Amino acid sequence: MSEPFLMIPVDDQVKVEAHLIRGGLPRVAAINHPHPLYGGSMDNNVVMAAMAVLDELGWSVARFNFRGVGGSSGSYADGIGEREDLKAVCRFLRDQAKQPEALCVVGYSFGAWVTMGAAGEGLSMDAQILISPPMDFMSFETLPVPGIPCLITLGERDDFCRLATLRHWLEKQPEAGIRPHVVTFPGVDHFYWGAERLLKEEMREFLRSLG
């Protein structure tokens, strides 16, 4: 699959490095990588697996490096600036689409936290895929459930996103919109090494259910 290299402007100081597949199609998706301070980048195995599924199903899809990672300018901004990075990428994707129909945002680990934070700040999405949101590492208390089609995945051996923590968070949420679909993978930890195929299967089923 061909991935044109892009630099997408966020503001006067920051541009983020991105790779795009199938630009201009009506269904668009952005993929957020894990924590920049712990080696996260758009070349992560989970990010690449997610991109492969979206490409297979005919989406315009971009993976990108948050500010300060790889070729992106700027520096880590506590997740707040990273929300602006995501918003800029989504604007770019929608502008590229001739007649945009749907935006799906995929966030893995820290990227899931950024996804939900950006949604809470008004970034409109049609679907979310939250891969191992790190609820045992970062605070999700002020982040509401999306209320749109949402897939949440986690491994049963994930120390950063324990199933009990996720369930407790979901139980505290008000009934609003569509409840997330939660999938757990036996024997899988936070990093999905060797379990990419299982993740891709669940993503594929969820994306097809969107119509």
| Residue owning tokens 């970062």 | 138
Dist CA 149 CA 208 (whole Å): 12
Residue 72 tokens, joined:
């992106």
Which domains are delineated in the chain?
5-209 (3.40.50.1820)
If phi over 0 gives left and psi between -120 and 50 gives alpha, with beta otherwise, what is residue 25? beta
Q: pLDDT digits over 91-148, tens only?
A: 999 999 978 899 999 999 999 999 999 999 999 999 999 999 999 999 998 888 888 9
Q: pLDDT digits over 61-81, tens only?
A: 999 999 999 999 999 999 999
pLDDT at 173: 81
What is the pLDDT confidence band of residue 175, given thresholds at 50, 70 and 90?
confident
pLDDT at 29: 98
Dist CA 174 CA 186 (whole Å): 29
Distance between start and end Cα atoms, the chain: 23
Residues 6+ apart with CB under 8 A from 34: 40, 44, 46, 108, 109, 110, 111
Element (H, E) at 197: helix 196-209
Where helices occur in 24-177 by DSSP H, the ranges are 45-56, 80-96, 110-120, 163-171
pLDDT at 58: 96
